Homo-oligomer: A and B are copies of this chain.
Amino acid sequence: MSAVTPSDLSRLSLNQETIKQWSLPELAEGCAKAGVPGVGLWRAPVQEYGVERAARLMRDAGLAVTSLCRGGFLTAVGGADRAAALADNRRAIDEAATLGTATLVLVAGGLPVGSRDLHAARERIADALAELAPYAAERGVRLAIEPLHPMFASDRCVVSTLDQALDLAERFPSDRVGVVVDTYHLWWDDRIADGIARAGDRIAAFQLADWITPLPAGVLLGRGQLGDGAVDFRRFRELVDATGYAGPIEVEIFNETLWSRDGAEVLAEVADRYVTHVLRS
């Protein structure tokens, strides 16, 4: 383990869900103190605190907001459900613009109740993107499609691979619709090197969590601290860097054990693991 220097952390961003036990002021103060220059935010805590107020808080702490999670859930078949989803995504775009982030992460949504048609659901996402992308572009926000692990395909996200995300994104200009590369969701895929190369300048966010087992019930909170699992982080970072991506590297871990610990201690561990496993190992 080597000493962590400030320049090591120049690209590091802490997604706030990693240290969910922190309030937004604690997050701002904790990151500033630790020399972590970026934060990824979630809509619910930001709305609760006030969007403009959260924007000011981060700005005053010298922190960049590297992404807002999340819009999406765009697989409704039509009618009121679809209209509500589109309206909610416009609000998410407005919030991203207010926070000063160019990246709104979209989780596509699962199969509607009773449907078994993944292809049709994916096409409805494309239709929704066509409606939302111009609205986002006017506000300086890029929509970033996040492929989620195939274990979420039925109930959360019918977009399961980077190639599928790119099949959708490439119907739009790259400055309007990008993709998220998250190691937790994509680590198992033997096509990932080609997928990342194909993504090129569409990489709107690069997120990290490790893959650990056994998975907990519901599987949502089973992500591991960097270095604890199966992911080869340095390889991912090198593949992403090779596209010319020089943006933030965001650590986003949902893990109840991390949430039960002292936030500053978790952040120090994240920074240390990041240097060891992502930058150097």
Seen from chain A, the residues whose Cβ lies within 8 Å of a Cβ on chain B are 111, 116-119, 122, 149-151, 153-155, 160-161, 164, 187-190, 211-219, 229-232
Contacts and interface: CB of A to CB of B under 8 A. Distances in A.
For A119, A149, A213, A229, the residue with the greatest tally of chain B CB atoms inside 10 Å of its CB is A213
A151 B118 contact: no
Contacts of A119: 190
Given A164-B190, A218-B215, A219-B215, A229 B154 contact: yes
When all copies of this chain in the complex are counted, the total is 2
A187 B111 CA distance: 13
Contacts of A231: 116
Q: Is the interface of A mostly helix, strand, loop or mixed?
A: loop
Nearest to A229: B154
A189 B111 contact: no
A111 B230 contact: yes
Contacts of A160: 188-190
B150 A213 contact: no
Contact of A214 (B149, B153, B190, B217): B217
A150 B189 contact: yes
Contacts of A111: 230
Contact of A219 (B151, B161, B187, B190): B151
A29 to B, nearest CB: 35
B213 A215 contact: no
A151 to B, nearest CB: 4
For A190, A216, A217, the residue with the greatest tally of chain B CB atoms inside 10 Å of its CB is A190
7 tightest CB-CB pairs across the interface, nearest first? A153-B188, A154-B230, A217-B217, A116-B232, A151-B151, A150-B188, A155-B213
